[in-house]
Structure 1
């Protein structure tokens, strides 16, 4: 009988705990304070100019420019939520000549909105990979970037003598910072 009484008291206490437990009102307005800030990394452009792609007469001249469509900012979601963008450029030069590489951002009216110039020293043996400072786009500069519909690449070979051989390789990447509220 003593055991039965202990079991009844235990069940009664457990039931009381379940029915008398604490609860609070739920605040569904907290969803209005929801904010997420994802970061995306992507490759942007790549090219490899070979010696046989260049007409060399020893003088400084432009290699015919290459203009590509750039429809990234047609995406309304990206346009609305992008708060910052960083572009990174890396060039490997194995030519015995220096180069100037210009990346031109072009708007819908075929007007350049921004030009990034990368000076590339000539190859002197060994590893010749140049990592350029990160280009950061925020505020007004980001607003101009969002208007970009085409990107042009203008490559100028510097004057020099002797046959040229080698490659000029560009790799670029972007880091996009977004805020979704």
Structure 2
């Protein structure tokens, strides 16, 4: 019992006489947060026969719903950089050109990104692409309300209404924030 009281007395003395420093509550004014947010942007899955109309090959335009990533003023005001990631999986034995047209609220083009998609040759055919938006490019991205996808066939074996395969796209945005 005497040992317990001695230890208890020692710990009480340690806490009473322990080191402490003054708290500086003004440090909260220097707080800077830099969160990173990842969100899906758009996706599509176009079958090979969608590129044929009445036996004639055609370019396909794929409209997407509104891109609402920057609708919120907090997000628009605090984003410092954004990276758009696109990945296309082509299982059609034909090469394509994919244009991504960024449209404003009036459907006027702001900027365009183009990707060349190689033809499927029996092995996995994933085509990744990343575009970083900073400065002027970021201002344009913040004004984007829709992204139109225009898929054009490149020369190759003819497609028919019974052609097999798909052209699949998935995309995401990684937004970097600087909150002071």
Q: TM-score range by the shorter chain?
A: 0.7 to 0.9
Find the partner of 2:36 among 30, 36, 39: 39
List gaps (5 residues or longer) in structure 1.
none
Deviation at 1:15, TM superposition (A): 7.7
- The verdict on how the C-alpha distance between 1:86 and 1:18 changes in structure 2, with shifts beyond 3 A counting, is closer
Deviation at 1:43, TM superposition (A): 2.1
Find the partner of 1:154 among 147, 150, 156: 150
Is residue 170 from structure 1 mapped to residue 140 from structure 2 by the alignment? no
Deviation at 1:22, TM superposition (A): 5.0
SS of 1:74's partner is coil
Q: Aligned-pair RMSD on alpha carbons?
A: 2.6
SS of 1:141's partner is helix
Runs of 4+ in 1 over 4 A off after TM superposition: 13-23
User: What whole-Å deviation, never above 9, does each CA across 1:73-105 have from its counterpart, x for those lacking one?
Assistant: 111111111111111111111112111111111
TM-score by length of 2: 0.82
- The verdict on how the C-alpha distance between 1:14 and 1:110 changes in structure 2, with shifts beyond 3 A counting, is closer
**Count of residues in Structure 1 that have an aligned counterpart in Structure 2:** 172
CA distance in 2, matches of 1:137, 1:150: 16
| Contact 2:97–2:153 (8 Å) recurs in 1 | yes
CA distance in 2, matches of 1:171, 1:180: 29
SS of 2:119's partner is coil
SS of 2:74's partner is helix
